[in-house]
Amino acid sequence: MTSAPPHVVQPFINRELSLLEFNRRVLEQAKDETVPLLERLKFLCISCSNLDEFFEIRVAGLKQMIKLGTALVGQDGITPSELFAEISNRAHALVVEQYRVLNEVLIPALEQEKIRFVRRSEWTAEQDAWLRAYFQNELLPVLSPLGLDPAHPFPRILNKSLNFIVSLSGKDAFGRNIGYAIVQAPRALPRLIQLPREVAGTGPYDFVFLSSVIHAYVDELFPGMQATGCYQFRVTRNSDLLVDESEAEDLLEALEGELSQRQWGNEVRLEVAHNCPDQMSQYLMEELSLGPADLYQCHGPVNLNRLMAIPDMIDRPELKYAPFVPRVPKALGGDLFAAMRKHDYLLQQPYDSFTPVLDLLRQAAKDPNVLAIKQTLYRTGAKSPVAEALIQAARAGKEVTVVVELRARFDEADNISLAEALQEVGAHVVYGVVGYKTHAKMMLIVRREDQAGAAPGALRYYAHLGTGNYHPKTARLYTDYGLLTSDQAICKDVHAVFLQLTSLGKVSKLHRLLQSPFTLAKGMRDRIEREVAHAAKGKKAHIIAKMNALVEPEMIQALYQASQAGVQIDLIVRSMCSLRPGVPGLSENIRVRSIIGRFLEHSRVFYFANAGDPELWLSSADWMERNLFRRVEVAFPIHDRKIRERVVEQLHAYLDDTASSWLLQPDGSYQRAPSEAGAKSVQIKLLDEITGSV
């Protein structure tokens, strides 16, 4: 194993701390004045929703380890207790910054555009009257205040729900001194109320927070008593699902049972209004079995995620990203089977439309020569056109086999509904392999057709392989690649993987694809070692790897060794990165950058110079332990020279980007890349080049 130089404490950056650094980079977008104002508000919301998931999954798991007394030191040399303390410090600082950005940066900027969040102290008499009527007619009938006494114990608080703790004076109808009460705001209630034009102040976009309305009229919930204080709070719970697949006879039923409990996992975080008295905060912590390190004070709404609704409520195109029309390659506007027989096509979302993928499925569903369709589905959305096409195919008598990954985190309910809908029309639905999530993005179509040099009516395969999900919405928001191919060698490998997933037979030897958990990690390490051998002979040795996360220790060690051998390594890692770049004696030939922009960078691309005979691979897998060893993933080569050259050219454009790049420093922090005035991000350049929309 490669050891760190004496002046470096550890060769690995902690993955959780790296993830918090990513969230800080997202928040920085909310401050960037080159980003349209309402998009800046979205970036603030994204940083908050990311932090929610971080607590629901990462911090929840860490707290479980501490509770069990786990003292194991990770690759980064940090114990669970030390890590929790550092996470608490950084997360508290991040929350303070989120609310500073809201109150001192975004709200003043929005007010300049006549978009206001009207405070209670600013309500006019007309607004007060309208809001009081709104409270009485729309809120009062659905609110159920809960006085706290021995007969009314502290209620169970739904995960991430909006709640209020109210201090009361006076006696209730039964002559009791209640002291405290809890008011829970049902999720059906809007968190933002738009004032109608007749009572709005400066314009049509005056909003009031639901919390402000409840604060203003909370006395009406407690007749004959006086509310002496009313404060928001929110509880975050452990949301990871724990299903023992080896014991579950039906994974779908087991997950359905577990989903109902997700909202009631162990408490991991308490958010309260910044002005909540210490006594009341302490009371909440005691009731929720949380400590001071779990308490976060919020100078504003406790759930900033709800502000994500604002851009859709405001018709101000100049405050949003300019719309664009994704390109549909001309050759893919007609018979897709004929087009794919001529050569491969690489679609690049969101710049290219996702429509050809849907069209391929729809053509296959109607084509009498198509015998079978096989598909993996990880995330598709609640109402999926992909699922609709598969249902049509099954109804048309095609043999439809779908591998639905029920355990796609936070999409489990949608995927269960999808699986049931497919089963109802006779499709074969399987849930992958016990213990291994199916994360590969594959579609295979089997068609009978006449071919030169083959018997009449021979079978021919067509395939789609992607780096992203079969989800039309995220195809407009995420950068991903999708290969449409009729290369029979690749298609036969795809067929072999499907057989493995459905029949559970032994692993077939794949001739073109790399697959986890079997050959993908070794295949990538072998290619890294090949670059080392080329460097030793003075030949061209260069690696460019683009992915979402890089944390797997063996892959990092292989890159360190390649760096020390003189291989030039450029990494484009959007989120977590445990590798320390630029450390003398360890990684001086490695550079790491993160691109944060309009679109979420999601594609995984791996380029190896190979002494002038380059290889390019696309994959569904990041370099994480789970992707390489606990999931079914595939990596596929790009053999078409023109396509390969185009992707490599784009990789270099990413490396040249100065407008949206953040450079990872040896200490784990990130710094913005030096940028010239007016520089365009790589995403904007690609948008202009491919769609002509900029």
- Residues 6 or more apart whose Cβ sits within 8 Å of residue 299: 99, 100, 103, 274
Please tell me the distance from the alpha carbon of residue 143 to that of residue 587, in angstroms, as a whole number: 59
- Distance (Å, whole) CA 238 – CA 62: 10
- Which alpha helices (H) appear in 435-487, and where do they start and end? none
**Residue in this structure with the two tokens 């502000």, named with its chain if needed:** 307
**Token pair 């169970």: residue:** 156
* Pair of tokens at residue 285: 């912590």
Instruction: Provide the sign of the torsion angle of the four alpha carbons 521, 526, 529, 530, taken in this order.
Output: negative
Question: Torsions phi, psi of 153, nearest 5?
Answer: -70, 170
> Residues 92, 215, 439, 495: which is the catalytic one?
439
H or E element in which residue 616 lies: strand 615-619
> What is the chain's Cα-based Rg?
28
Q: Where are the beta strands (DSSP E) in 10-169?
A: 115-117, 146-147, 162-169
Distance CA(459)–CA(554), nearest Å, equals 42
CA 559 to chain centroid: 26
Query: Tokens in use for 591?
Result: 């550079």
| 234, 303 Cβ separation under 8 angstroms | yes
Q: 7, 22, 8, 9: which is closest to 551 by C-alpha? A: 22
Cα 547 to chain centroid distance, Å, stands at 13
Task: Find, among 634, 662, 628, the residue nearest to 553 by Cα.
Answer: 628
φ/ψ of residue 500, rounded to 5: -65, -40
Residue type, 358: L
Q: Could you tell me the two tokens for 194?
A: 């738009």
DSSP-based three-state secondary structure for 55: helix
Strands (E), 467-614: 478-485, 514-516, 542-547, 568-573, 590-595, 600-601, 604-608
Angle among Cα 390, 394, 395 to the nearest 5 degrees reads: 115
CA–CA gap between residue 182 and residue 146 (Å, rounded): 5
CA distances to 56, 254, 257, 307, 391 from 239, rounded to whole Å, are 5, 16, 14, 22, 32
CA separation for the pair 326, 253 (Å, rounded) = 40
- For residue 439, indicate whether it is catalytic: yes
Query: Among 159, 15, 11, which residue's Cα sits nearest to residue 87?
Result: 15
**DSSP for 159-200?**
TT-EEEEEEEESB-TTS-B--EEEEEE-TTS-SEEEPPTTT-
Question: What are 582's two structure tokens?
Answer: 């630029």
Count the alpha carbons within 13 Å of 216 in the hemisphere toward its beta carbon: 23
Catalytic residues: 439
